[in-house]
Amino acid sequence: MNMLHLITQQLDLGLIVLDSRGCILMCNPWIAKRSNADPVTSIGLRLEEAFGASIDPRIARVVREALDFGWSARLSHALHPTPLPLYAIGGGEERIKQMIDVQPLKQDGLMLCLLQIRDVTETVRRESLLRQQARQLRTDLAKLASAQEELQRRELRFRELARLAPAGLFETDPQGNWAYLNERTSAFTGVSPKEGLGKSWFDCINESERPRVKAQWQIARESAIRFAEEFHCQRPDGKALWLRVEAGPVKDAQNQISGFVGTLLDVSEYRIRAQHIEFRANHDALTSLCNRERFDTRLRAAVSGAQEVGQSFALLFMDLNGFKQVNDEFGHAAGDKVLCTVADRLRRVTRQEDLVARYGGDEFAILLLDVGDEKALLHVVSKVRQAVSLPINAGGFHAQVSASIGIAQFPRDAQDAAALLHFADQKMYESKRQRKAAGETVILPGEQLLDSNTDSWDN
């Protein structure tokens, strides 16, 4: 009990245990540091008595459902951002953003309720920043498109100004052969204004994309419509760019297309920024694995697809045994090293079509869309356990963690994404309890560095 008490004191989340009447049995110091509630004097009080009447009334409802029906619930920050009067350490009048997990517990025949409160203020702030960056990118792209249209309207009539234009300007015959290209176009493509005349502008496009662009050009020529495409350009000097071309048809006196006049713009930076923002929104910043939100989306899609075709798949939910000891004994830098190493190993023992995610903290999830029979699935689980349990070179010492893994199969164990995750999570905790009962050793500190060849295994 002393060890359990010590653990609850050190957890970086709030814990509140309620009895069957909804009265507080225990709350840890994390709560006390962020509220006016005292862990000692709050014992025996209801939530509204301990925290005041300003708590979200929905908490009482989900607590009652947990005690009466054994239902788990989550008050996410998106719908319930500040359910309890909790504030940042050091002051401030604004409540911290919270996510509360409500979980029923059963002890000695009595139903209890566990509240786990997490501070997600920083997560919300980062999400807001990403949204702001995405909005700024859309604004930049809109401004860019507007500038291109303005340039095209003017430069078609005033070719002499083309030399000073910030965008590439060009003219071709109906087949796409250069009739004119300004200095900016030459700088983008590496084709000189004189040497390029009479040659096809398609030659500056990467061969893999050339058929697609040519097909769109043919459609624009036959239909007398505007042409717009983005493509990779491989210049003669080896530099690769993302270019955007917009061109409009020019008609002669007989109303026949005599060629195209267009603009050319380097959009490499915008492409890179967009890809970077998309990656950050869908991947874990530390391990570069798929993040929780992206994994949940893919899991829901897998359920929908499997229901349509009548297939099955498996979900592995994994927690690292001994990870907290690594953090406590060697610091967070060592913990980060362990997480990154585990992530790399999971990539190596899974297939390209499998999806591996860091679900949060030291929890990982793996989506196996096609693993065959039960024997094949257990083989995959064995490979994962073996890979995770190998010693990890963390700089000056080595650590060894192990994996508690919960397995859920669709549709055998559950028929929707949330239920699959819950089933796998429960199985994982059963595995963790069994390992603790067996007295598993999870950290092996050492005095010497491991050789880099030690951190490997046979796939």
Domain end position, chosen among 95, 119, 143: 119
Residue 278, in any domain of the structure: no
**Residues 360 and 399 grouped into a single domain:** yes
Q: With a threshold of 0.75, does the pTM exceed it?
A: no
**Claim to verify: residue 244 and residue 295 sit in the same structural domain:** no
Split into its structural domains, the chain has a count of: 3
Name the 3-class secondary structure at 83. coil
Do 53 and 73 share a domain, yes or no? yes
Same domain, 265 and 151: yes
Nearest to 254 by CA among 224, 217, 218, 228: 224
One domain, residues 373 and 301: yes
Chain centre to alpha carbon of residue 12: 22
Structural domain harbouring 15: 2-119
User: Distance between CA 78 and CA 356 in Å, rounded?
Assistant: 25
3-class DSSP assignment, residue 186: helix
Do 211 and 330 have their domain in common? no
The per-residue pLDDT for range 32-42, each reduced to its tens digit, is 888 876 767 78
Q: Is residue 326 part of a domain?
A: yes
Same domain, 305 and 248: no
Are 229 and 248 part of one and the same domain?
Answer: yes
Q: Which amino acid is at 228?
A: A
Pair 240, 339 in one domain: no
Residues 6+ apart with CB under 8 A from 173: 179, 258, 259
Rounded to whole angstroms, the Cα distance separating 409 from 415 reads 9
Looking at the domain assignment, is residue 281 inside a domain? no
CA 368 – CA 302 distance, rounded (Å):
10
Catalytic residue among 362, 370, 413, 458: 362
Furthest CA-CA distance within the chain: 94
Same domain, 354 and 422: yes
pLDDT in tens, the chain (459 residues): 455 566 666 788 999 999 999 999 988 888 888 887 676 778 889 888 888 877 888 888 899 999 999 999 988 766 667 788 888 887 777 888 889 999 999 888 889 999 999 998 888 888 889 989 999 989 888 888 888 887 776 666 555 555 656 678 888 999 999 888 887 888 788 888 788 888 888 888 888 888 999 999 999 988 889 999 888 887 777 777 888 899 999 988 888 888 998 888 888 787 778 778 877 888 888 998 999 999 999 999 999 988 888 888 999 999 999 898 888 888 888 889 999 999 999 999 998 889 999 998 999 999 998 877 888 899 999 999 999 999 988 777 788 899 999 999 999 999 999 999 999 999 999 988 887 776 654 333 332 223 333 333 333
From 212, 244, 272, the end of a domain falls on: 272
Integer Cα distance of 66 and 104 in angstroms: 5
Considering the domain boundaries, does residue 279 fall inside one? Answer: no
How many residues are there in the chain? 459
* 362 carries an active-site annotation: yes
Q: For 235-266, how does the pLDDT look when each residue is reduced to its tens digit (9 = 90+)?
A: 777 777 888 899 999 988 888 888 998 888 88
Look at residues 119, 152, 172 and tell me which one is the last residue of a structural domain.
Answer: 119
Give the Cα-Cα-Cα angle 64, 69, 73 (nearest 5 degrees): 65
End-to-end distance of the chain based on CA atoms, in angstroms? 42
The answer to whether residue 282 sits within a structural domain is no
The whole-angstrom separation of Cα 308 and Cα 298 is 15
- Is residue 232 domain-shared with residue 265, that is, in the same domain? yes
Q: What 8-state DSSP symbol labels residue 201?
A: G
Q: Do both 248 and 303 map to the same domain?
A: no
